Amino acid sequence: MVIVMREGAEASEIERVVRAVEELGLRPHRSDGELRSVVGVVGDVSRLSEEVFLRLPGVEQVVRLEQPYKLASRAFRPEGSRVWAGPVEVGGPGIVVMAGPCSVESREQLLEAAQAVREAGAAVLRGGAFKPRTSPYSFQGLGAEGLRLLAEARQRTGLPVVTEVMAPQEVELVAEYADVLQVGTRNMQNFSLLKELGRAGKPVLLKRGMSATVEEWLLAAEYVLSHGNPDVILCERGIRTFEHATRNTLDLSAVPLVKRLSHLPVVVDPSHATGLWELVTPMALAAVAAGADGLLVEVHPDPSQALSDGRQSLRPDRLARLVEQADAVAQAVGRWILRPEHVAAPRRAAAAGR
Ligand code: PEP
Ligand code: MN
């Protein structure tokens, strides 16, 4: 259930609604939008009449939600959410390119990649330190050393960093270094991890499970939201189908669908979705046309030498071309690619007291 307050409702009226929810043994989740506030009600509301809230001052409307996810639903924040990846806004009109190597392999490789993706127009650096590899014999990532290198790359380029966290007990460590914590496809339903991320104090980039339905994906987001973290970015990265000519099948229709169902920003990863670098740019352009708020792209200074996912990694010069073309597509749908040089130097999130 979502209680929608009137435009310009008094703070005391909103607080009264929050108290009323608590007094009924339910959990209130308040969200203050630019125009109006809403209070999400979590708990068993099946026998509760809307009237209980409708008669409180300042309440405009009470919406009963059909979907099992509540805080992730569009009704909870009709104007859409904007999530700050360090100084970079995700979910606003500017489309954010997040790029970098699949894995942090060495200091030299990462610093070269970071500089190159910035020059190509990426506003966020990606790179895995803890790697969820299918085989235990594959390169497992540099771990904590990789996190330190990512922090150094951020310091040198000014790009905020997104990196994966695989285990609940590693959340605190990864959150010390990263601007955004990535949940990989294999962990989308690791509920202990999702609960811990609710308390992480950093935004979460939640990849869609490779066999997850849209509803399961939004319920995974609901775990993070309901455990106290309002900053979730969804990432469509392809799902498993009978088709093996590509690594996964990019479910592009999920982008406009999820934008309707949820207020959360949605980004697309055309690298893992296709597994083939030749398909990355066309699918990135299609994602922008479909309404994606960002792209997550694997880029390596020398893809033939990559320790993971070289086959799907772009060379930096190809990323530069992708960004140019994506900007043209973005302009056609009334948006643009957010360039690193246009990112405000002072951290907006910090300035807003968050
Ligand atoms: C990655 O981003 O490097 C990664 C492992 O992605 P996914 O979880 O989507 O396979
Ligand atoms: Mn990868």
DSSP-derived letter for residue 315 is: P
Helix, strand or coil, per DSSP, at residue 329: helix
CB atoms within 10 A of CB 45: 18
The CATH H-level (homologous superfamily) assignment of domain 2-64 is: Phospho-2-dehydro-3-deoxyheptonate aldolase; domain 1 (3.30.70.1140)
* Residuewise pLDDT in 10s, the chain (354 residues): 999 999 999 999 999 999 999 999 999 999 998 889 999 999 999 999 999 999 999 999 999 999 999 999 999 999 999 999 999 999 999 999 999 999 999 999 999 999 999 999 999 999 999 999 999 999 999 999 999 999 999 999 999 999 999 999 999 999 999 999 999 999 999 999 999 999 999 999 999 999 999 999 999 999 999 999 999 999 999 999 999 999 999 999 999 999 999 999 999 999 999 999 999 999 999 999 999 999 999 999 999 999 999 999 999 999 999 999 999 999 999 999 999 998 866 444 444 443
Structure tokens at 38: 């809403």
> Which atom from ligand 1 is nearest to the alpha carbon of 102?
3
Who's near 313: CB < 8 A, 6+ residues apart? 101, 102, 271, 277, 298, 299, 300, 303, 306
pTM of the model as a whole: 0.95
Which residues are paired to 133 by β-bridges?
A: none
Q: Which residue is closest in CA terms to ligand 1's atom 1?
A: 102
Whether the CB-CB separation of 122 and 97 falls below 8 Å is answered with: yes
| Mutation probe of ligand 1 site: the residue of 164, 239, 295 with most atoms within 8 A of C-beta | 164
Rounded to the nearest whole angstrom, what is the distance from the C-alpha of residue 66 to the centroid of ligand 1? Answer: 32
- The string of pLDDT tens digits covering residues 205-247 is 999 999 999 999 999 999 999 999 999 999 999 999 999 999 9
CB atoms within 10 A of CB 5: 24
Residue list, ligand 1 pocket, CB within 6 Å = 102, 128, 132, 184-186, 207, 237, 272
Rounded to the nearest whole angstrom, what is the distance from the C-alpha of residue 99 to the centroid of ligand 1? Answer: 13
Q: Which residue is closest in CA terms to ligand 1's atom 3?
A: 102
Q: Which residue is closest in CA terms to ligand 1's atom 8?
A: 184
Ligand nearest to the CA of 129: 1
Q: Which has the closest alpha carbon to 196: 163, 172, 219, 173?
A: 172
83-352: CATH number: 3.20.20.70
What ranges do the domains of the chain cover?
2-64, 83-352
